[in-house]
Structures are given as structure tokens and as C-alpha cells.
């Protein structure tokens, strides 16, 4: 296991974090865990996307941690409004697994990436700092954690579709943009995942971003 190098507390810029989590027990646990980390300040927490918008505008956090499970709310709309309320904040989706619809919707709206919940407090704090310093983060893994593509490269059309996937486009949107049937796009996506040895559209989006095929938000 790689050891993380701790930065002396006096040299650490305090990160201001807003936590948006609909499950009270999970929210309290997350807040308590992060509050223990050097250089982290919890400036607000709420279960409500509407309350989150008011808090974001008021406290101006560096990072908004947004749960992947929101009740009666669309992630894309929430991310767009959060970015408008606090233009300098990075929005990260917090997820147990790669819930594709919520994550891709959030990425399309400008979220900086996502984090998995099973990170310990120290790693999560490091991930938040990495997001602020470098502008984007996906599951706290590097490009080397993903399988490299085989000798046979993606076709130009597959590369085009991969970039659109990384930007959060749905199959229907891609089909309309390229003037092809949605079933054709689905076949291309299957080929992309197979060639890159990936398991989901989210992993494909991560691959594209980390390998310079799409811009990080």
C-alpha cells in the first residue's frame, strides 16, 4: 500500500466543505470523519438540495460533496444550480457504486468528478484537496488503474463517441448528434468497452478524461 506524505498542518490551506447527503446517519458519519482531518473545515451539511443551494451561496465552499442518491431531484439540475450559487466551488458526487445515470448527468452538468464512499477519512481529504488543486477527480484512481487499450485502437467513430460519453451525453443524444440509430450507438459503446476492457460508461468517461481525450470540468 502506498504511503501518503502528510503536509505539515501550518502549510495546509483549509478546505471548506459542504456536505449534501439525504441519509442522516451517513451525513453525520461523513461530517464527523472529515472534521477530524487536518486542513478540513465543514462549513455546512444538509439533506436538502434546495437548502444546499442557499448554503452554497452563503458559505462559498471549496467543494460540495453531493450524494448520488437524491430524492425527487435531478443531479444535472442540482449541479448546475450549485455551480451558479457558488461559482468557485467544485462539485463531487459521492457514490457507493457507479450509478451511471446520476453520475453521467452530474458530469454533463459540470461536476468535477466523483468519489467512492469506502475511502477512509485521510484519503478522502487528500482527494478533496486534489480536486481543488487540479480541477477534477474520478473515483480517486489514476489512469494506470484502468486497463490500457489493446493493440487494435478505437476507430475514429468510436473515439468520437467515447469523447461524447465523457461529456455526459446519452445514447439518444449521441445518435441524434451523429445522425445514426440509437441501436448503432449502443453497438459502438459495447465495442468501446470491450476494446478498452472497461465495465461501464462511467469507466469509459474516466478513461477518456484521464487520457486527455476530454476536458476535465
Q: Is the dihedral of CA 37, 41, 46, 50 positive or negative?
A: negative
Q: What is the pLDDT of residue 4?
A: 41
Q: What is the pLDDT of residue 98?
A: 58
Cβ–Cβ contacts within 10 Å for residue 32, how many?
11
Q: What is the pLDDT of residue 46?
A: 94
Q: How confident is the chain (217 residues) per 10-residue block, as mean pLDDT?
A: 41 82 91 91 93 95 88 81 92 73 75 77 80 64 35 69 86 88 89 88 81 57
Q: What's domain 9-140's architecture?
A: 3-Layer(aba) Sandwich (3.40)
Domain ranges of the chain: 9-140, 144-210
For residue 186, give the C-alpha cell.
449502443
Q: Are 89 and 53 in contact (CB under 8 A)?
A: no
- Round to whole Å and give the CA distance between 132 and 139: 15
Q: Which helix (H) or strand (E) holds 161?
A: helix 156-166
Global pTM value = 0.62
Write the class of the CATH domain 144-210. mainly alpha
Q: Are 162 and 154 in contact (CB under 8 A)?
A: yes
- Round to whole Å and give the CA distance between 53 and 31: 18
Q: What is the pLDDT of residue 146?
A: 27
Rounded to 10 degrees, the C-alpha dihedral 48/54/59/64 comes to 40
Largest CA-CA distance found in the chain, in angstroms, rounded: 57
Amino acid at each position: 500500500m502506498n504511503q501518503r506524505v502528510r503536509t505539515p498542518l501550518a502549510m495546509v490551506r483549509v478546505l471548506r466543505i459542504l456536505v449534501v447527503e439525504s441519509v442522516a446517519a451517513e451525513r453525520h458519519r461523513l461530517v464527523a470523519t472529515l472534521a477530524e482531518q487536518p486542513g478540513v473545515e465543514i462549513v455546512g451539511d444538509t439533506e436538502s438540495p434546495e437548502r444546499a443551494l442557499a448554503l452554497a451561496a452563503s458559505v462559498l465552499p471549496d467543494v460540495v460533496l453531493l450524494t448520488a442518491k437524491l430524492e425527487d431531484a435531478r443531479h444535472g439540475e442540482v449541479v448546475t444550480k450549485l455551480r451558479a450559487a457558488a461559482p468557485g466551488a467544485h462539485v463531487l458526487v459521492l457514490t457507493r457504486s457507479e450509478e451511471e445515470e446520476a453520475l453521467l448527468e452530474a458530469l454533463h452538468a459540470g461536476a468535477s468528478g466523483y468519489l467512492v464512499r469506502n475511502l477512509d477519512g485521510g484519503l478522502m481529504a487528500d482527494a478533496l484537496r486534489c480536486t481543488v488543486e487540479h480541477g477534477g477527480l474520478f473515483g480517486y484512481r489514476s489512469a494506470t488503474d484502468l486497463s490500457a487499450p489493446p493493440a487494435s485502437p478505437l476507430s475514429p467513430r468510436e473515439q468520437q463517441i467515447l469523447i461524447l460519453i465523457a461529456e455526459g451525453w446519452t445514447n439518444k443524444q449521441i445518435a441524434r448528434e451523429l445522425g445514426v440509430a440509437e441501436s448503432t450507438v449502443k453497438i459502438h459503446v459495447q465495442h468501446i468497452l470491450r476494446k478498452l476492457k472497461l465495465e461501464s460508461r462511467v469507466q469509459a468517461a474516466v478513461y477518456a478524461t484521464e487520457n486527455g481525450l476530454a476536458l476535465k470540468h
